[in-house]
Amino acid sequence: MMEFSVRIPFVDLLGFRLERMEGGEAQMAYDPAPEHLNSFDVVHGGVGMTLLDVVMAHAARSLQTDMGCVTIEMKTSFVRAAKGPLVARGLVLHRTATMAFTEGRVLDASGKLCSHATGTFKFVPRLPTGAGRVNPLNRIPTD
């Protein structure tokens, strides 16, 4: 198990675990908690989309660890209900100087595809965070 290179409070809350991040690929593990389920007792789609977003972003960041990256767009297809322990895999399909084009997959414990996504991420410089800092994307103080 690897440590995330930056703290992402929402990822901490969900309990995603980074297993691999190198060469344009990333892999994460996730054991859904009861409060992460929907009314059908399967993983809520928003949690599944977050897992895909984070694993694709980490695949992109693996190519340039001194930069952060932000999601520009993402398309998700839900193939089957996601239950039990899940594995997410992200892959960079193409990279330019400022963007990474990626795909992600979420698999259940038997290796069946639960969801698939494509995403575009923009590389951005890391900025200090914390109380009193200004979010450069919308100029609103973060505290």
DSSP letter at 40 equals T
Whether residue 137 is contained in a domain is answered as no
Mean of the per-residue pLDDT values for the chain? 91
Residues 6+ apart with CB under 8 A from 72: 99, 119, 120, 121, 122
Whether residue 55 is contained in a domain is answered as yes
Whether residue 134 is contained in a domain is answered as no
Q: Count of alpha carbons within 13 Å of 76, Cβ hemisphere only?
A: 16
Whether residue 3 is contained in a domain is answered as no
Whether residue 1 is contained in a domain is answered as no
Whether residue 68 is contained in a domain is answered as yes
Whether residue 4 is contained in a domain is answered as no
C-alpha–C-alpha distance, residues 83 and 41, integer Å: 8
Domain that holds residue 93: 9-125
Q: Which helix (H) or strand (E) holds 52?
A: helix 45-61
Whether residue 14 is contained in a domain is answered as yes
Q: What is the pLDDT of residue 130?
A: 57
Query: In which residue are the tokens 């901490």 written?
Result: 12
pLDDT at 143 over 50: no
The domain that holds 119 is classified in CATH as 3.10.129.10
Q: Which helix (H) or strand (E) holds 13?
A: helix 9-14
pLDDT digits 0-9 by tens, 81-132:
999 999 999 999 999 999 999 999 999 999 999 999 999 999 999 876 655 5
- Helix boundaries (H) for the chain: 9-14, 45-61
The structural domain count of the chain equals 1
pLDDT digits 0-9 by tens, 26-65:
999 999 999 999 999 999 999 999 999 999 999 999 999 9
Higher pLDDT, 79 or 129: 79
Residue type at position 83? K
Residue 52 and residue 89 in contact, taking contact as beta carbons nearer than 8 Å: no
